[in-house]
Structure 1
Amino acid sequence: MKRYILFILLFVNISYGITVEEAIKRAKENLPLYYQGLSDFRSYFYAYRSSVSQFFPSLSYGFSYTRYSDKKPFNYFSRTHSLSLSWSIYNSGYRYFDYRSALHRYRASEYSLDEIILDIVFQVKYAYLKSAAAKERLKFRKIQFRAAKADYELAIDKKKLGLVKRSDVLQAKVRFENAKYSLVQAENEYRKSVAELNSLIGLPLKNDTEIDTSILDKYTENNFPDFEKLKEIAFSVRPEIKSLKETVKAYEESSKIYIFQYTPSVNVFYSINNSYSGYFGKDRYSSYGITLDWVIFSGLKRYYDYLSSKEKVRYNRYALKELKRSIELNLFKKNEDLKTAYTKLELARTILEQAEINYKQVLGEYKAGTSDIIALLTAESSLASAHETYVQSILELAITKISIERELGVEDINKVWGSR
């Protein structure tokens, strides 16, 4: 148990640098993906504000100038200034239902922006966790390299004393070179992982960003609810579901436009005109009135437009059902992956403890001359593999958890689950 505690302390060795929260904040400030979604959201917002403006009357000014080229004395000109106020009191329901449709599309775009933010959070967490695991893997490979080097040097010393054969030295050297190869590979993987994170948070790709590896320990806790509760959370908070619901409402409002096209439109107007004619002189007059326009028959266009809009409503309702089905299935599979990941982590932890004990035992026996180089190298290789498996098990568990959070539509499940 003491060895295990010492190992955990080694594993949780905290390095100070950018935290995952800071990385997420930087990504939101720098990623073009966010600003792309923000521009789309703003376009729907302005379209909504535009639909509100339809309820106001319109005021217009007009000017005309005309010259008549006729035989004298009938050669003259005229000019007119006019100021007109018009107001569509009722336009066959189009204005109201267009406003309602624009409102729901605006709300849908807001939820779509939330989905983009969740994508960004997931990408940053994924890249950060990969970098943290790569850093831990690099640390363990350095330990493996030093252990293989020590085994190689020990074999050389024992060969000089005539205690082992030359083949023992050669085998130790092969293991040493393999450890060096693995170390170079781990260094490359770590650099690439950090570069991926740097790209997301707006830093130079070659920037030596310091990763806080203690985040891996956070994801080893068993703090997720069961499948039914996960499904309940997803169906109540997932922005994509809310967005599709608003889209359905938008098409429902749009379909009403075609029904109310069978009703008349009513407009009022008032106009002031000031004119001057070289032939008639000055003239000033005003006019006002009310108009009613009713399209009684225009073929079957309005009818088929209505049927088309109703099909769009059905399409989006089915899309909503399909989305829920897909989310439910994905959550079930990821929840099964989560259970497996917990089991694999416990097994990896046990394997690591046993491999560490075995290596120390064989190393002592080899120094005492009661064991051969094959047993030592096998034990050292098993310990190295156990280290790799343990780190990979934690990474798989962490990625499974953030994948579930993404499927739920939350940045941190503890903020949602903790309040229930």
Structure 2
Amino acid sequence: MPSFKNKAAFITASLILLQNTFAFAAPVELSLEKSIEIALKNNPSIQIAAEDKARSLWGVDEAKAGKIPSVSLGSSYNYQGDSGKDSFSNNVRMNWQLYSGGRTEAQIDQAELGVKTADLNVVKAKQQLKQDTTTGYFNVLESKNMLAVNEESVNNLKAHLNIVQAKYEAGVVAKSEVLRSEVELANAEQNLIKVQNQYDLAVSSLLNTMNMDAGTEIQLAGELTYVADTRTLPEAIALAKQNRPEIAQAKVSVDSAAKGITIAESNKLPSVSLSASTGWNDTLLPNDNHNWSVGASASWNIFDAGVTKSKINQAESSLNKAKLQAEQTQDTIEQEVRQSYLNMKEAEKRLKTTDVAANKAKEDLYIAQETYKAGAGTNLDVIDAQLALTQAKTNHVQALYDYNVSKANLDKAIGSQTE
């Protein structure tokens, strides 16, 4: 009896362990929204953009330091050799630039504009990552559907081969029909192997985008479906002009280039600074014998052999370039929207025709199979019908994929929100 109890306990413990093992090995179920959320949280591109923003913020502090007094401490030591009269001296100096001709203020403005650019870079990185994740998600779904299409093709050809072999053994058909059916099955199995590899690669790419372990088993909750998009092309272009961070960045670049002209022109104006200093000798701390001074100074560069004029001309040229680039950016984005929109509409039209073709091909295969079973059709009729069905279903899956990806590209092109 004790032995029986021990065995029962062992079996129970084994079942619990096995259950926990399967629980740990359960695939991670992912919706499209969850995949995007994970990517935004884990992908280093967002963290890199955030670090660029932090650096820009420090750049503002650096520029503002130009309006604050600077203080320096100096010390020197002199060794007099055999005389034994070593000495050291100390001094503290303060300098405060009261007026720089507008240079410091313009540099601060440029640094703050740099923060805006960095902010927009974060938005741009999020939008790009959302598109990459969405495309990767649809790649997995497409490969999954293609896997199902090719598995069906292999199963159909296997079933047909069994029928052909039975007919051959009954002496109804020639050996060549068996060989031809075997060749078609082998070709279908080769295609299935390729599609399986494409699926594995698609999963690996999606995991990489989400920065998840490559060995993670996933299960996608969604399917490739058709959801009509009611946006018109003019509406999409208007949204892009309003939302795309690249357009806002181009405007910031124009403003920053305008500040560059102010910085260059500051060399034509005087600069005024206030200074103060104190010094003492042969003691570590100041004593009664230390001396001090306070003064103000002004300088005005009246002639610099055309250096300032050249800098102003360069700054004006940079401003003109920034304006042209802003126009070019807007044109490029408008073309991107138009291309994504037209690709989506083209795929939408293909969806209808490929769906009809797939249904007709399925019916045609059924007729060819039944006719062949009855002895009124040929082996080639069945094989051709199967190939046509596989191609029709492949075309439909491809159209579904193209529609959904083009729709995602349109979302990116108009600057869709990521939060």
Deviations 1:135-182 (A, max 9, x none): 110112111111110011112223333443433333322222222121
CA displacement at 1:65 relative to structure 2 = 4.1
The answer to whether the Cα contact below 8 Å between 1:216 and 1:394 also exists between their aligned partners in 2 is yes
Aligned to 2:218: 210
Q: Secondary structure at the match of 1:83?
A: strand
Residue in structure 1 matching 2:66, options 54, 68, 93: 54
Q: Distance in 2 between matches of 1:81 and 1:359?
A: 100
Aligned to 1:388: 394
Query: Relative to 1, partners in 2 of residues 1:273 and 1:329: Cα closer, same or farther, differing over 3 Å?
Result: same
TM superposition score normalised by structure 1: 0.84
Matching of residue 84 in structure 1 with residue 93 in structure 2:
yes
Matching of residue 200 in structure 1 with residue 175 in structure 2:
no
The answer to whether the Cα contact below 8 Å between 1:27 and 1:202 also exists between their aligned partners in 2 is yes
Q: Secondary structure at the match of 2:224?
A: helix
Q: Distance in 1 between matches of 2:190 and 2:72?
A: 80
CA displacement at 1:184 relative to structure 2 = 1.2
CA displacement at 1:307 relative to structure 2 = 0.5
Counterpart amino acid of residue 35 in structure 2: A
Aligned to 1:349: 355
CA displacement at 1:213 relative to structure 2 = 6.2
1:32-111 → structure 2 map (5 Å cutoff):
32-66=44-78, 79-111=88-120
Aligned to 1:175: 184
TM superposition score normalised by structure 2: 0.85
Moved more, 355-364 or 301-310: 355-364
Query: Relative to 1, partners in 2 of residues 1:129 and 1:211: Cα closer, same or farther, differing over 3 Å?
Result: farther
Q: Distance in 2 between matches of 1:36 and 1:67?
A: 52
Q: Distance in 2 between matches of 1:131 and 1:76?
A: 84
Counterpart amino acid of residue 357 in structure 1: E
CA displacement at 1:319 relative to structure 2 = 0.8
Residue in structure 2 matching 1:323, options 299, 317, 329: 329
% identical aligned pairs: 18
Counterpart amino acid of residue 402 in structure 2: E
Deviations 1:360-415 (A, max 9, x none): 23323333334332222222221111111111111111221122222223257xx9
Moved more, 353-362 or 59-68: 59-68
Q: Distance in 1 between matches of 2:43 and 2:311?
A: 41
Q: Distance in 1 between matches of 2:40 and 2:302?
A: 54
Aligned residues: 390
Q: Distance in 1 between matches of 2:123 and 2:70?
A: 37
The answer to whether the Cα contact below 8 Å between 1:239 and 1:409 also exists between their aligned partners in 2 is yes
Deviations 1:55-84 (A, max 9, x none): 22223333344567899xxx8565444333
The answer to whether the Cα contact below 8 Å between 1:54 and 1:95 also exists between their aligned partners in 2 is yes
CA displacement at 1:327 relative to structure 2 = 1.6
Matching of residue 126 in structure 1 with residue 162 in structure 2:
no
Q: Distance in 2 between matches of 1:125 and 1:182?
A: 26
Q: Secondary structure at the match of 1:283?
A: coil
Matching of residue 313 in structure 1 with residue 319 in structure 2:
yes
Aligned to 2:6: none
Matching of residue 300 in structure 1 with residue 306 in structure 2:
yes
Aligned to 1:137: 146
Matching of residue 256 in structure 1 with residue 259 in structure 2:
no
Aligned to 2:163: 154
1:367-386 → structure 2 map (5 Å cutoff):
367-386=373-392
Residue in structure 2 matching 1:286, options 274, 287, 292: 292
The answer to whether the Cα contact below 8 Å between 1:275 and 1:282 also exists between their aligned partners in 2 is no
Q: Distance in 1 between matches of 2:227 and 2:416?
A: 18
Q: Distance in 2 between matches of 1:199 and 1:150?
A: 39
Query: Relative to 1, partners in 2 of residues 1:213 and 1:173: Cα closer, same or farther, differing over 3 Å?
Result: farther
Q: Secondary structure at the match of 1:261?
A: helix
Q: Any gaps of 5 or more consecutive residues in structure 1?
A: 1-14, 416-420
Q: Any gaps of 5 or more consecutive residues in structure 2?
A: 1-26
Residue in structure 2 matching 1:247, options 225, 244, 253: 253
CA displacement at 1:331 relative to structure 2 = 1.9
Counterpart amino acid of residue 209 in structure 1: E
Q: Secondary structure at the match of 2:218?
A: coil
Q: Distance in 2 between matches of 1:337 and 1:249?
A: 36
Q: Distance in 2 between matches of 1:258 and 1:41?
A: 26
CA displacement at 1:39 relative to structure 2 = 3.4
